[in-house]
Amino acid sequence: MNLNRVWAMARKETIQIRRDPLSLALAFLLPLILLFIFGYAITVDVDRLPTVVYDRDLSSMSREVVRGLQASGYFTIVEYVQDPARVDAALDRGSAQVAISFPEDFSRHARTGRAAQLQVIVDGSDSNTATIALGYLNTALELAARRAGLYSIVPVIDVRPRVWYNPELKSRNFIVPGLIAVIMAIIAALLTSLTVAREWERGTMEQIISTPVKPAEIIIGKLMPYFAIGIIDTVLAIVIVVFLFGVPLKGSFFLLLFISCLFLFGGLSLGILISIVTKSQLASSQVALITSYLPALLLSGFMFSILNMPVPLQIITRFIPARYFVSAIKGIFLKGNTAGMLLSEMGLLALFGALAFFIAIKKFKKRVT
């Protein structure tokens, strides 16, 4: 391998990138735009749920329970009603997602030690929000009942739960680190999926083939500038995730960068392989999206737990590199995992990158000959 020829190919590709505004925008602006959109738009946190109260008891005890619910921050009382029909109307038109109804004997039953029942209605049209709201509601009602003096018996079992790695249970801490993997998968495949196809469409590939440069030198030279761009994008994404979104980075920054390089190399190699096979920019971009974006978004564990997927899909995810990168990046961010704890992920990412790279060389060699 001649390093001068590799450097010449890298320099040629860099000049081509600088002359193409679309490539520059794709390389630097798109990752930041995607990070901001996904980072702020995707969340499973539920707070300030609009709540309507139908209080037939009108006692200090029921008012104390309502104040406790509002103080939790999860619920916002938007209306007090005196007619059950208005409860139905509020839920129907969507102005309220939760309704709480106190019976007339609520406080009397509570003071005499009998079960003080109340009715809770949750809008189940959004099942995810409804499930989370019910969990919050049970906790908030228990705390509010204690404040109102409705719990006087000490429970036999004293449960004291602790949450590790994400004690505030913020979905942003869970979702945003995985965004880096999804965005890198998109950018890596898209950047290089156009490079060889563009040479064929412009008629410049024949000129490159006529030179003494070897297939491996062409591919390495074309990968180098995009690899540098990918590293810059990764560092920018990590800085934004830590300082703008406030996600704690408990592990090593350099370990995170090293694993990102492994994933980036595999994604770039896959993109250039797609470009070699398709020889069309339009087809390359479409195939790159299908093979990188959709698996990284849906099958990597970025948002949807792999354990909850059907067994056939769980098997398919084992062949998705983004799965291992998402697992590694979340472990470094939230758990502070070390290199020794991520050996399997690093090994599989390196294996994928090597396979994609050598297959690309083999396929390109056939095109050259």
CA–chain centroid gap for 296, Å, is 9
Which single residue is written with the structure tokens 């990070």? 35
The model's pLDDT over 87-125, given as tens digits with 9 standing for 90+, comes to 889 888 888 888 988 888 887 877 776 777 788 888 888
CA–chain centroid gap for 22, Å, is 26
Quick check: 326 and 181 in contact, CB under 8 A?
A: yes
Look at 17-31, 61-75, 265-279, 345-359 and tell me which has the smallest mean pLDDT.
17-31
Q: Residue 365 pLDDT > 90, yes or no? A: no
- Report how far residue 175's alpha carbon sits from residue 42's, in angstroms, rounded to the nearest whole number: 8
> Does the global pTM surpass 0.95?
no
DSSP strands (E only) in the chain: 49-55, 75-81, 98-102, 119-122
Sequence-distant (6+) residues with CB within 8 A of 116 are 106, 107, 109, 110, 150
- Report how far residue 175's alpha carbon sits from residue 153's, in angstroms, rounded to the nearest whole number: 40
The model's pLDDT over 52-91, given as tens digits with 9 standing for 90+, comes to 999 888 888 888 888 888 887 888 889 898 888 898 898 8
Alpha helix ranges (H) inside 94-169: 106-111, 127-147
- Report how far residue 220's alpha carbon sits from residue 228's, in angstroms, rounded to the nearest whole number: 12
CATH architecture of 49-147: 3-Layer(aba) Sandwich (3.40)
**What three-state secondary structure class fits 120?**
strand
Q: Residue 252 pLDDT > 50, yes or no? A: yes
In the chain, pLDDT over 70 holds for what percent of residues?
A: 91
CA distances from 217 to 3, 73, 193 (A): 8, 60, 17
User: How confident is residue 148, by pLDDT bands cut at 50, 70 and 90?
Assistant: low
What is the length of the chain? Answer: 369
All structural domains of the chain with their residue ranges: 3-42+170-368, 49-147
